[in-house]
């Protein structure tokens, strides 16, 4: 199947522990609140119940995390330390041991919490999976010396990756402030809502936390320069935006998407209205 054939889902990623490393899947279920099942299902908190995440500290980038196939166990180690130093924890039972490991690593009390119904998304309103194209990752990586598509993927942390399209094709998947763009992946209908506002996380190396000098400036200049004609510039109060935030109607919860599923744009709809109101005036 050619990468320039038709829009289709090429990669699914969830981050079982918010701010830590992803797990790639072949299929994923839409969970409660419209996100992918297991995505940001767990999060780290301090004693004041504030997130310990990448927005707060670069230390999270230096934690290596791997998960078993069932996402029931996590293995943690510190970047630069040997594999023999890694610790494996049961995500159901080893709460105290996990808290001890995190507390020792961060140097202040940190514990894990779980939210099985919808996880801990950054945006609790636009809580659906985030969408980007493989071509966009490749193009954006070319703006920076020493970065490649894989590095940019880890920096931007999208859930759903689309192949068979040119760079920034996903900018077709949102409309004005009052409307979304309905699109279907396989049998699941989504509403694209807006270009995602980026935070400090993409600026940093995903393994060391080291900041890339002038990252934000270079990103903004190139994003404005390459913004496609089909993108609504009114949605850009600034150009540090990339990736599409979505909502998923409750009727679609418990449905599944799979790698290889075709993506079809249905049309513009009221952001909170029924999908059958989609109009044929598709963007682009």
Does the residue 110 lie in any domain? Answer: yes
| pLDDT of res. 138 | 98
| pLDDT of res. 282 | 44
Pairing status of strand 110-114 against strand 73-78: unpaired
Does the residue 282 lie in any domain? Answer: no
- Residue 249: both structure tokens together: 């109607």
| pLDDT of res. 276 | 60
Choosing from 88, 114, 140, the residue where a domain stops is 114
Residue 130 vs residues 65, 85, 197: alpha-carbon distances, Å:
21, 34, 12
- Measured distance CA(121)–CA(43) in Å, rounded: 10
CATH assignment of the domain containing 199: 2.40.33
Same domain, 98 and 149: no
Tell me how many domains the chain contains.
2
Choosing from 68, 93, 114, the residue where a domain stops is 114
Does the residue 212 lie in any domain? Answer: yes
pTM confidence score: 0.93
Does the residue 283 lie in any domain? Answer: no
| pLDDT of res. 284 | 41
Residue 251 belongs to domain spanning: 8-35+121-277
In tens digits, what is the pLDDT along the chain, a chain of 284 residues? 345 479 999 999 999 999 999 999 999 999 999 999 999 999 999 999 999 999 999 999 999 999 999 999 999 999 999 988 999 999 999 999 999 999 999 999 999 999 988 899 988 889 999 999 999 999 999 999 999 999 999 999 999 999 999 999 999 999 998 899 999 999 999 999 999 999 999 999 999 999 999 999 999 999 999 999 989 999 999 999 999 999 999 999 999 999 999 999 999 998 776 666 555 444 44
Does the residue 83 lie in any domain? Answer: yes
Does the residue 3 lie in any domain? Answer: no
Does the residue 176 lie in any domain? Answer: yes
Pairing status of strand 8-14 against strand 160-163: antiparallel
| pLDDT of res. 46 | 98
Same domain, 127 and 254: yes
Same domain, 128 and 263: yes
Asked whether 207 and 61 are in contact (CB, 8 A), the reply is yes
Same domain, 110 and 198: no
Residues whose CB falls within 8 Å of the CB of residue 42, separated by 6 or more in sequence, listed in order: 16, 17, 18, 91, 112, 113, 114, 115, 120
Phi/psi zone of residue 201: left (φ > 0), alpha (ψ -120 to 50 degrees), beta?
alpha
| pLDDT of res. 220 | 98
Choosing from 114, 147, 171, the residue where a domain stops is 114
Q: What are phi and psi of 195, to 5 degrees?
A: -75, 130
| pLDDT of res. 2 | 42
Same domain, 106 and 128: no
- Measured distance CA(229)–CA(241) in Å, rounded: 16
Residues whose CB falls within 8 Å of the CB of residue 96, separated by 6 or more in sequence, listed in order: none
Name the burial class of residue 26, with classes exposed (0-12), middle (13-18) and buried (19+) by CB atoms within 10 angstroms of its CB: exposed
Does the residue 284 lie in any domain? Answer: no
């Amino acid at each position: 199947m050619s990468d320039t054939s038709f829009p289709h889902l090429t990669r699914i990623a969830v981050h079982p522990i918010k701010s830590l490393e992803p797990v790639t899947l072949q299929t994923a279920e839409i969970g409660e609140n419209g996100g992918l099942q297991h995505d940001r299902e767990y999060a780290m908190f301090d004693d004041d119940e504030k997130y310990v995440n990448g927005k707060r500290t670069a230390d999270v980038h230096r934690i290596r995390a791997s998960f078993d196939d069932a996402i029931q166990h996590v293995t943690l180690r510190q970047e630069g330390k040997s594999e023999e130093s890694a610790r494996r924890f049961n995500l159901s039972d080893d709460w105290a041991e996990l808290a001890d490991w995190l507390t020792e690593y961060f140097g202040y009390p940190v514990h894990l919490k779980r939210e099985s119904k919808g996880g801990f998304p950054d945006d609790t309103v636009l809580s659906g999976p985030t969408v980007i194209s493989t071509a966009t990752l490749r193009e954006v990586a070319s703006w920076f010396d020493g970065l490649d598509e894989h590095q940019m993927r880890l920096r931007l942390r999208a859930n759903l990756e689309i192949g068979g399209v040119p760079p920034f094709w996903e900018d077709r998947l949102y409309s004005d402030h009052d409307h979304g763009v309905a699109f279907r992946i396989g049998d699941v209908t989504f509403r694209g809502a807006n270009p995602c506002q980026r935070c400090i996380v993409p600026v940093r190396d995903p393994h060391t936390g080291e900041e890339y000098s002038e990252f934000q400036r270079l990103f903004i200049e190139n994003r404005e320069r390459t913004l496609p004609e089909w993108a609504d510039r009114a949605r850009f109060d600034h150009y540090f935006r990339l990736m599409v935030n979505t909502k998923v109607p409750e009727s679609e919860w418990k449905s599944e998407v799979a790698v290889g599923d075709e993506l079809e744009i249905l049309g513009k709809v009221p952001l909170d209205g029924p999908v059958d109101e989609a109009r044929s005036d598709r963007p682009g």
